[in-house]
Amino acid sequence: MKTVAELRRERNIPIPVNKDSLYKPIERKQRKFNPLVIPKAIQKNLPFKSKPKDTP
């Protein structure tokens, strides 16, 4: 009695490959983050160094 591997080697039969078992690259959408909004009441209490700078 021969194993499946021995029979494949003798007859040069390749190992079957399931397409579902192959690795494929993960495709993800680019994430878009909204800008951070700090409430005016909290901004007022912050020290000058920590206040957000208005950059156009």
35-53 pLDDT tens trace? 888 888 888 888 888 887 7
Q: Given this model, what pLDDT does residue 44 score? A: 86
Q: Are 3 and 17 in contact (CB under 8 A)?
A: no
The model scores a pTM over 0.85: no
Closest-CA residue to 55 (of 40, 35, 34, 39)? 35
For the stretch 3-36, pLDDT in tens is: 999 999 999 999 999 999 999 999 999 999 998 8
The token pair at 45 is: 């209490």
Residue that has been written with the tokens 């490959």 in this structure: 17
Domain boundaries, the chain: 4-50
Q: Given this model, what pLDDT does residue 49 score? A: 84
The amino acid sitting at 46 is L
